[in-house]
Structure 1
Amino acid sequence: MISNSSSHRVLMLWVFIYILVGFYILECQARGVGDLNSENVIEDDTVEYLKSYGEKMKSYMNLSVAPCDDFYEYACGNWKNVRPDRFQPNHKRNNLLDIVYTLINEGEKLLTSTQLAQALNVSTELQIAQQFYNTCLSAPAFPLPAADPAYVELIKSIGGFPAVEGAAWNASRFSWFNMSAHLTNFGVKGLINEDNLPQYPFTPFFELPELGFDHIVQTDNIANSTSRAYKLNEKRMKSYLQPYNLTEDKISEVIAGVFDFWRDALAVADRFEGDNEKCIEISENENLPKYHQWESYYEIAWNGKNFSNVGGTDGYCDYYYEQLEKVCSKHPEAVANYLAMLLLYRMDAKLKEEKYHKDYCYSVVQSGFSYVLNKLYMAHFKDRTRSEVASIVQELRNTQKKALEKVEWLDPETRQEAQLKESTIEPVIGSYKNEEVSTRLIQEIHSLDLENASFPQRLIQQRKLLTRLRRFNGFHSEPNDTKPLELLLGMQVNAFYYNLDNSIYVMAGILHPPVYHPDWPNSLKFGTLGYLVGHELTHGFDTVGSKYDSEGEKRNWWSKKSRGVFEERATCFVDHYDRYLIPEINQKINGKGTQDENIADSGGLQGALDAYRNHMKQLKNRSEVDNETLESEQMPGLDLSPEQIFYLGFAQLWCADYEQEHYWEELTNEHTIDKYRVLGAVSNNYDFSQVYNCPSGSPMHSQAHSCRIW
């Protein structure tokens, strides 16, 4: 059963880097792994490209900072000043996430690929996507037309908007829980924060709600009206209330009511420190029954379908919902107003300027019509790219195999099980294929009724379609179905390890700078794509993956002695990351909550370096490889050795620009905040200190005994 974010991670069974969907056609010739023998001369256009990309990498750096003092600042300190000005939703910007902007440019070409669509038998579906896109381009999006009749009608039908309806709104007929259940049908994670397990029977599970709009609210960050959390949320609510021509006094009253509700709801969560596991313990200790309204949720959200293995006190936090009901009964109007505005927030483009309108429209089309666009995109995915990436994956697996052979603390029986698991890992490059399911998902587009519909009406339908697709396996899967639908989408910037079938996936969409380019030197390819592959392979042997065997079965294949050493080494990562303070919000990294991602970063970085070194050793042993080829491991314009470039490429994946609200948003994420992700990985990597000549005692080489498992 799913109980909290930690248990969520246990059962999610794969670890996402980022899920961003985009498009990139790999037209370039692959060079490097498996291809260096035949390329002794780099063409002029390749030289110019490498020079340009080297200049770009250098522009991200803050060369006034020594790499041994703060490698993140050294590698990324100027990134936020040179990044392109593009549409930015309400999350951080970082170099990896920014792949989406290049993909947006290319993705627009897909919408006009009528001949390819005809050849693939998706012409009608592509035409629907084109119409949706064109309607979006001509519709007002900045600011959101919050008072559009389509939104007003929808809000009234699911619970109402007392701030707007006034005396016509009847509190006695209002159910905060039912309105929250209706909102899940549009992808709104309100007071019911729903997601789905990626395994049969693909049941829904529930995490604690995160309150707020542009800034997650917590008791301490809305303690006064001058905080950034207060100001951003106040501004957002005003933008939704003003189009209804309410008086300023009324708007202030409504906003104050929402903040009062938030404070009381947060006080409930504060009793168990917002930790769902602790909340469930309270529920069990007090022998609380299943919260009585969940049947209503299944009627509204799942057409009455229930799931036998979801429910009871181990399925969700009954104590929280019992207490939340008391809070909502105290603030019915404020709750209804908040939920109504959450729906508007879901429909809002959140544009800061009109110039970002086009980017937004494509992103909406891409999310809503992802399976048909994915079909077009994968038709362009080149076998040569697949071959090179497969070679990099194999190099990383060879390194992992050697590590399992050499590690001293594994006893023979446990080592044998670990080696068996490694030997049976199934790599998938591009995407998983299931034409029958993909076709069914594409055909779901026909459920949209867009004839003579306004853009708000179309957007409402599209949001419902997205939820139906997310719940598709829950309605249609059979017991032998083990694949989550995400595996079908090659058009995502993603790589992950999946415990249930002991497989690693490198999706086609991730094969784009700053992760991969066929003309890069191997030093950079291994520092970026190689690290990400190593990261995911390490997940097969982290604190969660180590509980699954070579067949994807959850089984304890460890001896007591080896497990004890493993857990002791894993605890080192918890202690290390617990020490990082985020000064922007005066909060510390949660070392326990981010433990497995930090282990994967460490294992992935070391594995990629070892794989790179092994690969270069093999090349040097080949008589047909000349010195010019080996010298090409450097990047023009960067006065760095190949292995220094390796580490620079890794760090620059995570160059980021955070606002205060983004730190709060990511504080409970299983991934460490980007800066400390880099600092933690390199400061626990002995080879880094040697490559950059960091003296003992320097910030990046301060520990006598660094954390390492494999």
Structure 2
Amino acid sequence: MSIMPHMIDDYQQKKVEFRKILLGILSERNRWSQCVEWTNKKLGMAVGALFIRENFNHESKKTALEMIQTIREAFNELLSENGWMDDETRNVAKGKANSMNERIGYPEFLKNPVELSKEYAMLNITENQFLKNIFAVLKYDAYHNLQKLRKPVDKNKWSTEPAVVNAFYNPNNNDIVFPAGILQPLFYSQHFPKSLNYGGIGVVIGHEITHGFDDKGRQFDKDGNMIQWWNNATIKAFRERAQCIVDQYSRYKLQEFDFPINGRMTQGENIADNGGLKQSFRAYKKWVSFHGEEPLLPSVNLTHDQLFFLNYAQIWCGSMRREDALTKIRSSVHSPGPVRVLGPLSNSEDFARAYNCPPGSPMNPTRKCNVW
């Protein structure tokens, strides 16, 4: 499967047929587009060095760090307020949140050409030898993986290329990663009001922090070791709250399908979405209490609280082919975009207040699910 995209047309045709059934894609993308994607995947740090030089505002890194701090504080406050955790587990949870290592933008060595060259010392690329280069990259990847065998984990090592629009939590390192590619609209802009930034990248930050305490992340301690640091009563209380989320999401359907999404398979991401939204809104309101209300946007008849939730919804605005939607429902750990909007917002008291949703209405149900 990894070599197939780079082979002759007979193989490409089989791949097109496979992708048509699985994803509804009728033809391959333009060759230039594929080449850009392959280069970023296989030589991600080299591409990242070019990306941050040309496209990354370095002030964003400082702003993101400040936002992480305020959202982590909001998580700790919510931790103190929850009534279902025992004090000992709560204190250890705070320690884990405070120990999270944040990686923002890119690793510093990308700004040093000599250090960057060392990264690729074992790799030989030959002009006009495409398939040979593919094998050279695969050998290079295998060599670097084998070098890590039986050695202590390097917790300072970046494994994510900077030019991607994504964010990550790694339970083995207890780190949260926000590559340079996600620090741009709609998630973030220096020119946006804070309401939009907190509703965008702020919720993503809270989402990744919450992953450290979802159904999988909670099984790892602050050093990334898989051990039970919760007592049994607290685990039981957590599972009851998580089950509420599982049941809620198992009732959602996409319009074109007559069967629901899998609430159990998607619970970790759903827990993180709900927690991230709540933490980021609290952090935003705290920012407002220090700095004062932001001026309203001209000709936009919305408060900043409403704009916060509107930008959160915009992040998940998109379209999917029917086949792709079906594949995602059957196999993805993420709920489809519309559900990622409806689920967390209908659990949010803050959203109901901002948009004056009547009690008992679809977006302000009487029974709400709440884990973090």
Report the TM-score, using the length of structure 1 for normalisation: 0.47
- 2:28 equivalent among 350, 365, 372: 350
Alignment of 1:109-148 (within 5 A): 146=9
- 1:449 equivalent among 107, 122, 126: 126
Matched, 1:373 2:56: no
Q: CA shift at 1:433, angstroms?
A: 5.1
Equivalent residue number for residue 535 of structure 1: 207
Equivalent residue number for residue 239 of structure 2: 567
Query: Retained in 2: the 8 A contact 1:585–1:663?
Result: no
Supply the distance in 1 between the matched residues of 2:294 and 2:92 (Cα, whole angstroms).
41
Supply the distance in 2 between the matched residues of 1:359 and 1:534 (Cα, whole angstroms).
32
What is the letter of the counterpart of residue 126 of structure 2? D
- 2:361 equivalent among 698, 701, 706: 698
Query: CA 1:461 to 1:573, structure 2 compared with 1: closer, same or farther past 3 Å?
Result: farther
What is the letter of the counterpart of residue 370 of structure 1? G
Query: Retained in 1: the 8 A contact 2:123–2:140?
Result: no
Supply the distance in 1 between the matched residues of 2:115 and 2:238 (Cα, whole angstroms).
40
Supply the distance in 1 between the matched residues of 2:305 and 2:196 (Cα, whole angstroms).
9
- 1:475 equivalent among 146, 162, 177: 146
Alignment of 1:560-639 (within 5 A): 560-620=232-292, 630-632=293-295, 634-639=296-301
Query: CA 1:409 to 1:615, structure 2 compared with 1: closer, same or farther past 3 Å?
Result: same
Identity across the alignment (%): 29
Supply the distance in 1 between the matched residues of 2:235 and 2:142 (Cα, whole angstroms).
37
Q: CA shift at 1:377, angstroms?
A: 2.7
What is the letter of the counterpart of residue 100 of structure 2? I
1:59-93, CA deviations, whole angstroms, 9 ceiling, x for partnerless residues? xxxxxxxxxxxxxxxxxxxxxxxxxxxxxxxxxxx
Larger RCO, structures 1/2 (Cα 8 Å, 6+ apart): 1
1:81-134, CA deviations, whole angstroms, 9 ceiling, x for partnerless residues? xxxxxxxxxxxxxxxxxxxxxxxxxxxxxxxxxxxxxxxxxxxxxxxxxxxxxx
Supply the distance in 1 between the matched residues of 2:156 and 2:140 (Cα, whole angstroms).
11
Q: CA shift at 1:637, angstroms?
A: 3.5
Query: CA 1:363 to 1:685, structure 2 compared with 1: closer, same or farther past 3 Å?
Result: same
Q: Say how many residue pairs are matched.
A: 360
Matched, 1:674 2:346: no
Report the TM-score, using the length of structure 2 for normalisation: 0.87
Query: Retained in 1: the 8 A contact 2:160–2:179?
Result: no
Supply the distance in 1 between the matched residues of 2:237 and 2:39 (Cα, whole angstroms).
50
1:339-396, CA deviations, whole angstroms, 9 ceiling, x for partnerless residues? xxxxxxxxxx703xxxx56544433443443322212333454442211111111110
Supply the distance in 1 between the matched residues of 2:239 and 2:202 (Cα, whole angstroms).
26
Alignment of 1:39-50 (within 5 A): none
- 2:305 equivalent among 632, 640, 643: 643
Alignment of 1:195-206 (within 5 A): none
Supply the distance in 2 between the matched residues of 1:488 and 1:545 (Cα, whole angstroms).
19
Secondary structure of residue in 1 paired with 2:80: helix
Q: Which runs of 5+ in 2 are unaligned?
A: 1-5
What is the letter of the counterpart of residue 40 of structure 2? Q
Query: CA 1:442 to 1:377, structure 2 compared with 1: closer, same or farther past 3 Å?
Result: farther
Query: CA 1:568 to 1:472, structure 2 compared with 1: closer, same or farther past 3 Å?
Result: farther
Equivalent residue number for residue 362 of structure 1: 36
Q: CA shift at 1:474, angstroms?
A: 2.7
Q: CA shift at 1:462, angstroms?
A: 4.7
Query: CA 1:669 to 1:690, structure 2 compared with 1: closer, same or farther past 3 Å?
Result: same
Q: CA shift at 1:489, angstroms?
A: 1.8
Equivalent residue number for residue 406 of structure 1: 81
Which moves more between the two structures, 464-473 or 597-606? 464-473
Query: CA 1:643 to 1:399, structure 2 compared with 1: closer, same or farther past 3 Å?
Result: same
Q: CA shift at 1:486, angstroms?
A: 6.0
Query: CA 1:477 to 1:471, structure 2 compared with 1: closer, same or farther past 3 Å?
Result: same
Query: CA 1:416 to 1:386, structure 2 compared with 1: closer, same or farther past 3 Å?
Result: same
Q: CA shift at 1:484, angstroms?
A: 10
Secondary structure of residue in 2 paired with 1:494: coil
Secondary structure of residue in 1 paired with 2:169: strand
Query: Retained in 2: the 8 A contact 1:585–1:660?
Result: no
Q: CA shift at 1:648, angstroms?
A: 0.5
Equivalent residue number for residue 660 of structure 1: 322
1:441-496, CA deviations, whole angstroms, 9 ceiling, x for partnerless residues? 434552x3334x5xxxx2x3454355445545432214113469763522222211
Secondary structure of residue in 1 paired with 2:21: coil
Equivalent residue number for residue 215 of structure 1: 21
Secondary structure of residue in 1 paired with 2:297: coil
Matched, 1:418 2:81: no
Equivalent residue number for residue 255 of structure 1: none
Query: Retained in 2: the 8 A contact 1:432–1:488?
Result: no
Secondary structure of residue in 2 paired with 1:640: coil
Alignment of 1:413-562 (within 5 A): 413-432=88-107, 439-443=117-121, 445-446=123-124, 448-451=125-128, 453=129, 458=130, 460-465=131-136, 467-468=138-139, 470-478=141-149, 479-482=151-154, 487-562=159-234
Query: Retained in 2: the 8 A contact 1:490–1:509?
Result: yes
Q: CA shift at 1:582, angstroms?
A: 2.6
Query: Retained in 1: the 8 A contact 2:270–2:334?
Result: yes
